[in-house]
């Protein structure tokens, strides 16, 4: 079926070029209410996942798939202490199964009160797809625009950052004062580098999302103040890098991180 888009705070928002079916469009899409909590803090982080957490290659696109429905149903009915907000299938179709401004899901441990979670379906060998990245990026574009979340992505030594961040630990503040698009692998040692893998970050970087070293504080000003989403909004990569530089940050120019003509699919296979 054709969906009407994402739901934020009870409001439907269309996502250009992506078929997003939400829980109001289709009664078969059940919300994972039993495994959510009321949202009390601002949502500043988007956490990316893959369903199996396996590293694998990247292909262009799968055939038609309905596994997004299967996983969304599992999310709502499995009876385990885990849940997420959005499922992105291998053909680029999307199920939106929770309103993250009303309730937060249990997708990233101690970070949950400040986050929402995206799950990407993958093949048993860990394969993900370029059309998935495209669909996810367009949905994330709309969410970051609506919520004024800065378009930062984790980067370290010239590549997507696979480290677990001290700033996301309970002792480090559990993500308070952080904003952007991180991976489940950055939150816990219990998930490997395939959750969500590197390919999606190369794709986001090519779309202008700004790579920063969170552990080095590149998302902060020289005085230690965390850059607020309202400071950055949905500015271009160039203007965001200029803002960071003016604030004393150490963010590198995007062109030094993603060479011209290098496609993310070529970078995704590990």
Confidence of residue 132 (pLDDT cuts 50, 70, 90): very high
Q: What is the mean pLDDT of residues 106-133?
A: 95
User: Lowest-pLDDT range, 57-66, 133-142, 179-188?
Assistant: 57-66
pLDDT of 126 > 70? The answer is yes
pLDDT of 106 > 80? The answer is yes
Domains and CATH numbers, the chain: 6-268 (3.40.80.10)
Give the tens place of pLDDT for each residue, 22-45. 999 999 999 988 899 999 999 999
Rounded Cα–Cα distance for residues 135 and 139 (Å): 6
Average per-residue pLDDT in the chain?
84
Give the tens place of pLDDT for each residue, 70-104. 988 888 887 778 899 999 999 999 999 999 999 99
Angle at 23 between CA 21 and CA 27, to 5 degrees: 105
Q: Is the dihedral of CA 45, 205, 68, 268 positive or negative?
A: negative
Helices 199-206, 130-147: inter-axial angle, 10-degree rounding = 60
Give the tens place of pLDDT for each residue, 195-249. 999 999 999 999 999 999 999 988 876 555 555 544 444 444 455 455 545 544 4
pLDDT of 172 > 50? The answer is yes
Full-model pTM: 0.85
Confidence of residue 191 (pLDDT cuts 50, 70, 90): confident
Q: CA Rg, the chain, in Å? A: 17
Q: In this prediction, what percent of the chain has a pLDDT beyond 90? A: 68
Instruction: Give me the pLDDT at residue 267, please.
Output: 36
pLDDT of 128 > 90? The answer is yes
Confidence of residue 253 (pLDDT cuts 50, 70, 90): very low
Rounded Cα–Cα distance for residues 254 and 50 (Å): 26
Instruction: Give me the pLDDT at residue 224, please.
Output: 58
For 224, the 3-state DSSP assignment is: coil
Indicate the pairing of strand 36-38 with strand 103-105: antiparallel
Instruction: Give me the pLDDT at residue 44, please.
Output: 95
Q: What is the mean pLDDT of residues 107-133?
A: 95
Rounded Cα–Cα distance for residues 118 and 105 (Å): 10
If we measure between CA atoms, which residue out of 1, 71, 72, 67 comes closest to residue 31?
A: 72
Rounded Cα–Cα distance for residues 32 and 83 (Å): 7
Query: What is the secondary structure of 32-84 as a DSSP string?
Result: -GGGEEE--S---EEEEEESS-----EES--S---HHHHHHHHHHHS-SS---
Structure-block tokens of residue 246: 């003016």
Indicate the helix (H) or strand (E) that contains 133. Answer: helix 130-147
Indicate the pairing of strand 128-129 with strand 58-59: parallel
Angle at 29 between CA 27 and CA 34, to 5 degrees: 110
């Amino acid at each position: 079926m054709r969906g009407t888009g994402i739901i934020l705070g009870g409001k439907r928002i269309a996502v250009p070029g992506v078929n997003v079916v939400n829980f109001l469009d289709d009664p078969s899409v059940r919300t994972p209410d039993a495994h959510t909590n009321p949202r009390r803090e601002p949502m500043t982080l988007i956490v990316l996942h893959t369903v199996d957490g396996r590293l694998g290659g990247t292909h262009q696109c799968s055939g038609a798939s309905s596994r997004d429905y299967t996983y969304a149903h599992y999310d709502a009915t499995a009876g385990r202490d885990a849940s997420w907000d959005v499922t992105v299938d291998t053909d680029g179709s999307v199920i939106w199964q929770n309103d993250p401004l009303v309730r937060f899901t249990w997708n990233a441990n101690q970070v949950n009160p400040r986050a929402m979670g995206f799950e990407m379906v993958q093949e048993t060998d860990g394969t993900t797809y370029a059309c998935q990245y495209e669909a996810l990026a367009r949905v994330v574009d709309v969410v970051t625009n609506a919520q004024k979340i800065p378009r930062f992505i984790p980067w370290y030594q010239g590549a997507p950052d696979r480290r677990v961040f001290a700033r996301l630990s309970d002792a480090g503040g559990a993500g308070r004062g952080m904003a952007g698009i991180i991976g489940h692998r950055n939150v816990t040692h219990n998930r490997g580098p395939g959750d969500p893998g590197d390919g999606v970050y190369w794709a986001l970087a090519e779309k202008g999302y700004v790579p920063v070293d969170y552990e080095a504080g590149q998302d902060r000003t020289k005085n230690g103040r965390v850059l607020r989403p309202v400071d950055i909004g949905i500015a271009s990569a160039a203007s965001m890098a200029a803002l960071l530089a003016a604030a004393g940050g150490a963010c590198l120019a995007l062109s030094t991180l993603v060479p011209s003509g290098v496609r993310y699919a070529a970078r995704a296979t590990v």
